[in-house]
Amino acid sequence: MPAGIYQKMLDEFGDTLEQTSEDRDEKTTPKGGGVFMTSCQEKVVNFDKFKNSIAAKFALANNPNSCDALYMQAENDWFFIELKTEKLTKR
């Protein structure tokens, strides 16, 4: 994917990695948000927003799953980022 396409995605769906890391799941965050997994201010494509836009454009009955973010470090260095929340327990 050329850098120009990535820039267009950033322009429309750009966010910080911190914002894409927000936990909005009411099962893990009873207040329904405001908990961030990172404070990183690196600009990324919020892939959930991108995916939701595509799903709406094609009027998909079921919204597909996606990763959380897309990051381009260099022209040929792409990273799909998936953030997970888990509680660690002792065994």
In-domain check, residue 90: no
pLDDT value at residue 31: 63
pLDDT value at residue 3: 76
Structural domain that includes position 74: 3-81
pLDDT value at residue 45: 97
In-domain check, residue 38: yes
- In which region does residue 68 sit, left (phi positive, over 0), alpha (psi from -120 to 50) or beta (all else)? alpha
Burial of 82 (0-12, 13-18, 19+ CB in 10 A): exposed
In-domain check, residue 35: yes
Give the global pTM.
Answer: 0.79
pLDDT value at residue 90: 73
In-domain check, residue 65: yes
pLDDT value at residue 30: 61
In-domain check, residue 87: no
SS3 label, residue 53: helix
pLDDT value at residue 33: 63
In-domain check, residue 88: no
In-domain check, residue 18: yes
Residue 77, beta-bridge partner list: 74
In-domain check, residue 89: no
Domain count, the chain: 1
Among 14, 5, 23, 80, smallest CA distance to 49 is for 14
**Tokens 């009955």, residue?**
61
**Number of neighbouring beta carbons within 10 Å of residue 89:** 5
pLDDT value at residue 87: 65
Which ranges of the chain have pLDDT less than 50? Answer: none
